[in-house]
């Protein structure tokens, strides 16, 4: 048994990441062992949650990661934690499956965060609707965010429908507007936590803001009301050491930082040795059998990457000798001839693929995707603001999990054993298929 809360909201942008990280930081500061998870595919929020808890953060998604994997991760966390906190994705009922589906499946108690900055009585209707829209949703309570004053907070609390003299939706307090703990954003979401010198100070300020609320005053006995039993899953299939004796070099820095912790774990489970290098530091590619170029923000570092000649030249040698490379999204973008930024400036890239990647102000693609290989189905997602202009013919396409003609898949490009796509793979969904990305055989 372990107390388990899912922090959700009626929509994106309500402040649920700030509240989730604040709650995690508050209890970690109090000496409790906190384990955090993120609902849905996301790289940025887990970085903030990892900073708040001091532990790696994994993703939970009933489609992408699967129920068996979720059950295993929650069971392990419950054995060592005093509190499990899951941050929801988008709105509580958005997506198929949604955060609400996850909460109902595993008994996670929902804490609803509502941006109440422009409302009063409607706050009660919204809280009531979130609580009762789906029967059987475990409920922790509601927190008002970005509140203007104490009087405003009282109006919001009074708006909650009452039952037997008490607010049925359970008032957990109000957090006042304060730029001191705002988490800055840019086009793909939150700014990477490691880029901000005051990141921990922001989390501490947000945690301090919770101290005066009922939510911030919960002790272990209060938390116990939200305890959940996470049974051990049935035995999971063993992972064959298909990469035993292989070394996989992974690009990791501010330009290439979209790395699921589960992907690194999968490579290790496959028997690979994992080493890291930094293209931004112009590191040479380490001696290795295969390379992974994960996603990130190459467009923000295009000028530096254009002169990372040591990295580029060693990568070219690696590719020309027939050794595998798997490049995802940002990792693929830098492989083309140039990246054109939003101001129309062209930055020379590494030239392993012909064509240009062009940034645009609007989202180009978003959603769950799957890649069918002869060795299995890899699940993952796509999320990018750039478009690729190339004469190169794709060798494969991913497929949208949503289906339908309007939900196009992503191209997979190949040059020898170099494979690349906007698709972000969650490698634990099929370790056998993941291994194929790092072996020289042609994908099929």
Q: Are residues 220 and 288 in the same domain?
A: no
Peptide bond into 97 cis (omega under 30): yes
Task: Look at residues 201, 228, 255 and tell me which one is the last residue of a structural domain.
Answer: 228
What is the C-alpha to C-alpha distance for residues 348 and 2, in angstroms, rounded to an integer? 52
The torsion defined by the Cα of 204, 205, 208 and 209, in degrees rounded to 10, comes to -140
What is the C-alpha to C-alpha distance for residues 90 and 236, in angstroms, rounded to an integer? 30
Q: Are residues 223 and 269 in the same domain?
A: no
Q: Are residues 268 and 189 in the same domain?
A: no
At 233 the pLDDT is 80
* CA gyration radius, the chain: 23
- Residue 442 domain flag: no
- Residue 237 domain flag: no
Largest Cα–Cα distance of the chain, in whole Å?
75
Is 329 catalytic? The answer is yes
Task: Look at residues 193, 228, 263 and tell me which one is the last residue of a structural domain.
Answer: 228
Q: Where are the beta strands (DSSP E) in 34-168?
A: 34-39, 58-60, 83-87, 109-115, 139-147, 162-163, 166-167
- Residue 50 domain flag: yes
Q: Are residues 219 and 324 in the same domain?
A: no
* Domain interval for residue 91: 2-228
- Residue 161 domain flag: yes
Q: Are residues 324 and 210 in the same domain?
A: no
Task: Look at residues 183, 201, 228 and tell me which one is the last residue of a structural domain.
Answer: 228
Identified catalytic residue from 2, 39, 288, 329: 329
The label of the residue with tokens 């209707």 reads: 125
Number of domains in the chain: 2
CATH of the domain at 149: 3.40.50.300
Q: Are residues 77 and 205 in the same domain?
A: yes
At 199 the pLDDT is 84
Q: Are 31 and 162 in contact (CB under 8 A)?
A: no
Q: Are residues 147 and 186 in the same domain?
A: yes
Q: Which helix (H) or strand (E) holds 387?
A: strand 386-389
- Residue 224 domain flag: yes
CB atoms near residue 401 (< 10 Å): 16
- Residue 234 domain flag: no
CATH of the domain at 385: 3.40.50.880
Give the C-alpha distances (Å, rounded to integers) separating 391 from 44, 153, 292, 355. 32, 58, 24, 7
What pairing do the DSSP bridges indicate for beta strands 166-167 and 171-176? Answer: unpaired
- Residue 316 domain flag: yes
What is the C-alpha to C-alpha distance for residues 83 and 111, in angstroms, rounded to an integer? 14
The label of the residue with tokens 């009301």 reads: 225
Q: Are residues 194 and 72 in the same domain?
A: yes
pLDDT tens for each residue of the chain, 444 residues long = 899 999 999 999 899 999 999 999 999 999 999 999 999 999 989 999 999 999 999 999 999 999 999 999 999 999 999 999 999 999 999 998 999 999 999 999 999 999 999 999 999 999 999 999 999 999 999 999 999 999 999 999 999 987 654 556 799 999 998 877 677 665 556 666 666 778 888 899 999 999 999 999 998 888 999 999 998 887 777 899 999 999 999 999 999 999 999 999 999 999 999 999 999 999 999 999 999 999 999 999 999 999 999 999 999 999 999 999 999 999 999 999 999 999 999 999 999 999 999 999 998 888 999 999 999 999 999 999 999 999 999 999 999 987 655 556 899 999 999 999 999 999 999 999 999 999 987 665
Q: Are residues 334 and 206 in the same domain?
A: no
Exposed/middle/buried for residue 361 (C-beta within 10 Å: 0-12, 13-18, 19+)? exposed
- Residue 441 domain flag: no
Q: Are residues 221 and 323 in the same domain?
A: no
Q: Are residues 309 and 343 in the same domain?
A: yes
What is the C-alpha to C-alpha distance for residues 105 and 87, in angstroms, rounded to an integer? 15
Q: Are 143 and 176 in contact (CB under 8 A)?
A: no
Q: Are residues 208 and 286 in the same domain?
A: no
Q: How far is CA 136 from the centre of its chain?
A: 27
Q: Are 322 and 416 in contact (CB under 8 A)?
A: yes
Q: How far is CA 107 from the centre of its chain?
A: 22
What is the C-alpha to C-alpha distance for residues 203 and 207, in angstroms, rounded to an integer? 6
């Amino acid at each position: 048994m372990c107390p388990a809360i899912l922090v959700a909201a009626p929509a994106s942008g309500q402040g649920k990441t700030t509240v989730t990280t604040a709650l995690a930081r508050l209890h970690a500061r109090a000496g409790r062992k906190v384990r955090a998870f993120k609902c849905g595919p996301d790289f940025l929020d887990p970085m903030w949650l990892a900073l708040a808890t001091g532990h790696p953060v994994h993703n939970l998604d009933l489609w992408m990661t699967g129920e068996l994997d979720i059950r295993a991760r929650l069971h392990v966390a419950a054995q060592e934690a005093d509190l499990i906190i899951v941050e929801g994705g988008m709105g509580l009922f958005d997506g198929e499956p949604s955060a609400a589906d996850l909460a109902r499946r595993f008994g996670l108690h929902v804490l609803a965060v509502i941006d109440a900055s422009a409302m009063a009585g409607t706050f009660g209707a919204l809280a009531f609707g979130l609580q009762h829209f789906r029967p059987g949703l475990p409920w922790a309570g509601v927190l008002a965010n970005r509140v203007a004053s104490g009087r405003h907070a009282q109006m919001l609390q009074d708006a909650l429908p009452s039952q037997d003299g008490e607010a049925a939706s359970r008032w957990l307090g109000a957090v006042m507007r304060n730029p001191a703990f705002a988490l800055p954003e840019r086009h793909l979401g939150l700014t990477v936590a490691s880029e901000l010198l005051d990141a921990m100070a922001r989390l501490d300020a947000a945690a301090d803001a919770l101290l005066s609320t009922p939510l911030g005053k919960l002790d272990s006995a209060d938390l116990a009301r939200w305890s959940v039993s996470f049974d051990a899953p049935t035995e999971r299939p063993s992972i064959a050491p298909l990469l035993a004796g292989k070394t996989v070099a992974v690009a990791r820095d501010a330009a290439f930082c979209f790395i699921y912790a589960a992907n690194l774990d999968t490579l290790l489970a496959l028997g690979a040795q994992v080493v890291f290098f930094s293209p931004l530091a112009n590191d040479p590619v380490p001696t290795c059998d295969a390379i992974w170029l994960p996603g990130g923000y190459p467009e923000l570092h295009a000028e530096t990457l254009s002169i990372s000649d040591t990295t580029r030249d060693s990568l070219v040698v690696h590719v020309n000798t027939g050794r595998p490379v798997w490049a995802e999204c940002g990792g693929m973008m830098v492989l083309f001839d140039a990246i054109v930024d939003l101001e129309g400036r062209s930055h020379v890239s590494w030239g392993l693929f012909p064509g240009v990647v062009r940034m645009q102000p609007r989202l180009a693609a978003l959603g769950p995707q799957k890649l069918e290989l002869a060795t299995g189905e890899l699940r993952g997602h796509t999320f990018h603001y750039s478009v690729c202009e190339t004469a190169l013919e794709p060798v494969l396409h991913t497929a949208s999990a949503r289906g339908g003609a309007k939900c196009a898949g992503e191209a997979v490009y190949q040059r020898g054993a170099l494979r690349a796509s906007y698709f972000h793979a969650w490698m634990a969904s099929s370790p056998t298929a993941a291994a194929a990305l790092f072996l020289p055989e042609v994908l099929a």
